[in-house]
Amino acid sequence: MALCLKQVFAKDKTFRPRKRFEPGTQRFELYKKAQASLKSGLDLRSVVRLPPGESIDDWIAVHVVDFFNRINLIYGTMAEHCSESSCPVM
């Protein structure tokens, strides 16, 4: 088990996102948009609050299905490019 954790957290194999991007690139523009949305002052508690008159079971079911669909989309994208040999940590 310890060996497995060492492999997962090895600095040479762990993905570390870049903190700075070259201005004018598409990544820089995406980074700016992400930062703007994170600092928009949106109250996440109000976003996930159960609407009045709604059933908690229905609300949870809808959001679980949406979450599953998003994760499935991400997995499908990764699975096309990552295999056991090309992405051993994943």
Assigned domain for 88 exists: no
CATH number at residue 7: 1.20.140.30
Domain extent at residue 33: 1-81
Question: Where do we find the tokens 């040999």?
Answer: 85
Answer left, alpha or beta for residue 24, where phi above 0 means left and psi between -120 and 50 means alpha. Answer: left
pLDDT at 68: 93
DSSP state of 50: P
- For residue 87, is it within any domain? no
Task: Please report the pLDDT score of residue 14 as a whole number.
Answer: 61
Does residue 89 fall inside a structural domain? Answer: no
Q: Which of 82, 72, 89, 64 is nearest to 10 (CA)?
A: 89
Would you say residue 19 lies in a domain?
Answer: yes
Q: Is 82 annotated as a binding residue?
A: yes
Tens of pLDDT, residue by residue, the chain (90 residues)? 445 556 556 666 666 666 677 888 888 888 888 777 777 777 777 877 888 999 999 989 988 999 999 999 888 888 877 878 887 776
Task: Assign 23 to helix, strand or coil.
Answer: coil
What is the count of structural domains for the chain? 1
- Is 4 annotated in some ligand binding site? no
